[in-house]
Amino acid sequence: MKAKEWIENGETAVGIELGSTRIKAVLVAKDGTVLASGSHMWENRYENGIWTYSLDDIWTGLKKSFATLKEDVFMHYKQNLTKVGAIGFSAMMHGYLAFDASGELLVPFRTWRNTLTEEAADILTARFDFNIPQRWSIAHLYQAILNKEEHLDKLAYITTLAGYIHWKLTGEKVIGIGDASGMFPIDSKTRDYDKKMAEEFDELVKEEGYAWRLNDILPQVLVAGDQAGTLSEEGARLLDPTGMLEAGIPVCPPEGDAGTGMTATNSVAVRTGNVSAGTSVFAMIVLEKPLHSVHKEIDIVTNPMGDDVAMVHCNTCSSEIDAWANMFAQFSEAMGYEKDMNKIYNVIFNSAVEGNVDCGKIVGFNYYSGEPVTGFSEGRPMLIRTADSTFTFANFMRLQLYSAVSALKYGLDILFKEENVPIDKMYGHGGFFKTKGVGQRIMSAAMHAPVSVMDTAGEGGAWGIAVLALYSVFRKTGQSLPDYLEKEMFSDTKGETLEASKQEMDGFDAYMERYCAAFPVLQSAIDNVLQ
């Protein structure tokens, strides 16, 4: 009855996040309790050498995820979802969505997964003395300039996926600072794009003669709690074609999946960190002070408040595990057994624990696309073993889990061993941690540190952006985001902390020696085996 009252009175928030393979929507109460959820599965396309999603994919997926949320609300509470107290949208960071002055898309959406901007990223990194990864929006823009692409003469606006959705639903060309930090470097003091670097970029492209300057085409930066507009009449119909959803709902600043992951794990404060492990994997640590050096393996982004965060982002995590799970499902059906994907995943993960800590001298790469952290422009999923490798099912499965996070460990070792970055708490969330204790133990072995998984971790980024929406409307006067999370969202949250044994940590290190030694083999496959 209490939940029904909250829904009737709009004392709730909706969070929707567009991940790589799933669009998830949640309805939460003011205390963060999840009341209902919905989702829609989707998949990126590889078309004309570009990883992309069409605009039709985006809007079809948004509508279906919201429709399934409404159905869940009605099934549990016999209520139509007509109004909420706040709403927020989040999505995969980075990439390139470019529009002309009339709002027409100029080129297909280039997602974070593309590794086509190495030349641009290298030039900008040297120019700014600041690491610009290939997937950042500014790298895509400058690569388009280097390639002399025709659409640049018509360019009026670039944004991210979350920024695009927010713009179309509210009319506001704004972006949360965490998402903005994956477009262009942020000055954590001004909580805005770095002014000096923006001027340097304009100077760099001056001779091209474009009518625009960089600040003209970027969205306005907002921090957590800022007003970011309301759901327009047109936006309400775009999201809910049935006409039930009311316009005028406050919408929080759109954020990227990194910021919502930090929020969902209560790791926005200094010296805290989190690992998000799903289709891609990334770790984020809120910095106490700037790094000593520029590292191409380390991104400097921000949390939703604008504080500097060291980020190691790897393009592929679970895709190879999913591929083997699907093959085992086909094998089960061929053997006459009923396909049970949950059981298959449980067997995969739990069997991995029984493997040798060094995977029995088996090495593998899970690269479906390029992996800039380790320096590869293309991917070739592969497995390498010798005649004396211990090739068992348990070792093979442990290998899949190791290879899912090996590139991440490669980057984190720079933070921990070279930069001596301190960390008090590390949280894990995402599908990699779904099987109790397994992914958590593997990640701890990789990091040489305890890893905590909270009860809320399974809700992921959709819950995180819903919480940011709640914060924008229901927080107490002057309440900071870390304080709000600690007191209002996580005061009663339970979780489990797990630390791998020294033997497991040493075993992962031994695996990493063979992993790095096999880089020339992977490069040879890239050079000689067609994609």
Fill in the DSSP letter of residue 455.
Answer: G
CB 349 within 8 A of CB 404: no
Q: Does residue 71 carry a pLDDT above 60?
A: yes
Per-residue pLDDT at 458: 56
Helix runs in 137-265, H state only: 137-146, 161-170, 177-180, 195-204, 214-217, 233-239, 257-264
Per-residue pLDDT at 528: 93
Q: Does residue 407 carry a pLDDT above 90?
A: yes
Domain count, the chain: 2
Per-residue pLDDT at 456: 60
Q: Does residue 498 carry a pLDDT above 80?
A: yes
Q: What's the pLDDT tens digit per position in 141-159?
A: 999 999 999 999 999 999 9
- Would you say residue 12 lies in a domain? no
Both 391 and 325 in one domain: the answer is: yes
Q: In the predicted model, what is the mean pLDDT of the chain? A: 94
Helix (H) or strand (E) holding 221: strand 220-222
Stated length of the chain: 531
Per-residue pLDDT at 530: 72
- Would you say residue 130 lies in a domain? no
- Which two structure tokens, joined as six digits, stand for 451? 């890893």
Counting residues of the chain whose pLDDT is more than 70, the rounded percentage is: 99
Residue-wise burial string across 256-272, b where 16 or more C-beta atoms lie within 10 A, e elsewhere: bbbbbbbbbbbbbbbeb
Q: What's the pLDDT tens digit per position in 271-308?
A: 889 998 888 888 999 999 999 999 989 999 999 999 99
Both 339 and 378 in one domain: the answer is: yes
Both 308 and 339 in one domain: the answer is: no
Residue-wise burial string across 308-335, b where 16 or more C-beta atoms lie within 10 A, e elsewhere: bbbbbbbbbbbbbbbeebeebbeebeee
Both 451 and 416 in one domain: the answer is: yes
- Would you say residue 30 lies in a domain? no
- Residue 304, domain CATH: 3.30.420.40
Confidence of residue 79 (pLDDT cuts 50, 70, 90): very high
Per-residue pLDDT at 457: 56
Handedness of CA 288, 291, 297, 298 (dihedral sign): positive
Residue-wise burial string across 402-416, b where 16 or more C-beta atoms lie within 10 A, e elsewhere: bbbbbbbbbbbbbbb
Per-residue pLDDT at 278: 82
Lowest-pLDDT choice from 131-140, 194-203, 458-467, 475-484: 458-467
Both 415 and 494 in one domain: the answer is: yes
Query: Closest by alpha carbon to 182, among 163, 202, 206?
Result: 163
- Would you say residue 287 lies in a domain? yes
Helix (H) or strand (E) holding 395: helix 393-413
- Would you say residue 395 lies in a domain? yes
Q: Does residue 397 carry a pLDDT above 60?
A: yes
Both 299 and 328 in one domain: the answer is: no
Confidence of residue 200 (pLDDT cuts 50, 70, 90): very high
Q: What's the pLDDT tens digit per position in 320-354?
A: 999 999 999 999 999 999 889 999 999 999 999 99
Q: Does residue 129 carry a pLDDT above 90?
A: yes
Per-residue pLDDT at 118: 92
Per-residue pLDDT at 531: 62
Give the integer Cα–Cα distance in Å for 428 and 293. Answer: 27
Q: Does residue 199 carry a pLDDT above 70?
A: yes
Lowest-pLDDT choice from 4-18, 164-178, 190-204, 490-504: 490-504
CB 255 within 8 A of CB 182: no
Q: Which residue has the higher pLDDT, 398 or 493?
A: 398
Both 418 and 298 in one domain: the answer is: yes
Both 429 and 477 in one domain: the answer is: yes
- Would you say residue 424 lies in a domain? yes
Per-residue pLDDT at 460: 78
Candidate ranges 194-203, 312-321, 410-419; pick with highest mean pLDDT: 194-203
Helix runs in 265-359, H state only: 319-334, 341-352
Q: What's the pLDDT tens digit per position in 239-266?
A: 999 999 999 999 999 999 989 989 988 9
- Would you say residue 494 lies in a domain? yes
Both 367 and 490 in one domain: the answer is: no
Q: Does residue 524 carry a pLDDT above 80?
A: yes
Per-residue pLDDT at 412: 93
Both 476 and 372 in one domain: the answer is: no
Both 386 and 265 in one domain: the answer is: no
Both 450 and 462 in one domain: the answer is: yes
Could you give the 3-state DSSP secondary structure of residue 387? coil
- Would you say residue 325 lies in a domain? yes
Helix (H) or strand (E) holding 119: helix 118-128
Domain of 383 in residue numbering reads as: 319-400+501-528
Counting residues of the chain whose pLDDT is more than 90, the rounded percentage is: 82
